[in-house]
Amino acid sequence: MDSVTIILIVAAVILSVIIFGAGAIILTQLIKFFQVKNASFKKSLAIILVFMLVGSLINTIFRFINLGAISDIFSVGILFLIFYYLLKKYYQIDWKRSLLIYIIFYSAVFITGLLIIVPVRQYIVQPFFVSGDSMSPNYNQNDYLLLGMFDRKFIRGDVVIYRMPLDPNQFYIKRIIGLPGEKVEIKNNSVIINGENLIEPYVKGSTLANINLVLGDDEYFVLGDNRGRSFDSRVHGPIKSADIVGKIIYNFSTQK
């Protein structure tokens, strides 16, 4: 198990603890608001843990059955019955108050989740699905990737997601080949950086182009690993650091 995997597991555990803890606090306060005398954090946490585990199983079953909107309706109804059963077991709360608590609780958890998830996705890490084969065989169609947003120091070999300079609404995945201030040449199917041939064990196919340029202070030259199927800096030119969304820190691909 590499260090990145360990960091991701630890981060996921910490985030889960925060979310479950916040949910237990919210539920406990709601119980107190409805004037239930025996409200406690431990009971609320137990309710949330059981509810989430059973709820995940129910959602998985209904996704497998796939009855469309009917599945969603049945799922919501069954989840409420589970929630009501747990509240009645731990707090002896009737179904009317359980329904109110259920609605308020879900609304509060949804807002809390947004307050946690949105900053994480904006500034720390976000998911990305590969579309196309420009990076195969290293990154393939539908590979699930994690994109790091926090490290803005890019080095040669980093695989990055960037906004295509000619159309900022399109996102591309490519590998950084040339760094700011370097001279980049492509000739005779070879990539030459500052006069030296670049060794590229990750490349598939020939690097067809005739390029000779010097990168600016904030410019990067990017290429796809599958050189014959890649639309990259050979066509649209260098990219700037502002175009780069982030670098790939983990690939959950099951392909070997």
- What is the share, in percent, of the chain residues with pLDDT greater than 90? 51
Residue 27 lies in a domain: yes
Report how far apart the first and last C-alpha atoms of the chain are (Å, whole number): 17
Token representation of residue 56 = 């995940």
Task: State how many domains the chain has.
Answer: 2
Average pLDDT over residues 44-57: 89
d(CA 214, CA 29): 62
Give the domain-ending residue among 123, 149, 166: 123
Helix residue ranges, H only, the chain? 3-33, 41-65, 69-91, 95-123, 233-236
Which of 6-10, 70-74, 226-230 has the largest mean confidence? 226-230
d(CA 187, CA 209): 6
Identity of the amino acid at 145: L
Average pLDDT over residues 173-188: 96
Residues 88 and 41 in one domain: yes
Residue 256 lies in a domain: no
Residues 240 and 135 in one domain: yes
Residue 54 lies in a domain: yes
d(CA 221, CA 205): 18
Residues 138 and 24 in one domain: no
Residue 31 lies in a domain: yes
Residue 222 lies in a domain: yes
Give the domain-ending residue among 102, 123, 144: 123
Q: What is the mean pLDDT of the chain?
A: 88
Residues 97 and 58 in one domain: yes
Residue 183 lies in a domain: yes
Write the CA distances from 200 to 145, 165, 189, 223, integer angstroms: 22, 25, 12, 11
Residues 12 and 107 in one domain: yes
> What range defines the domain where residue 36 resides?
3-123
Residue 256 has pLDDT above 60, yes or no: no
Secondary structure of 147-180 in the HEC alphabet?
A: EECCCCCCCCCCEEEEEECCEEEEEEEEEEEECC
Residues 218 and 145 in one domain: yes
What confidence tier does 35 reach under pLDDT thresholds 50, 70, 90? confident
Residues 110 and 138 in one domain: no
What confidence tier does 2 reach under pLDDT thresholds 50, 70, 90? low
Residues 79 and 151 in one domain: no
What CATH code is carried by the domain that includes residue 178?
Answer: 2.10.109.10
Residues 223 and 110 in one domain: no
Give the domain-ending residue among 123, 147, 176: 123
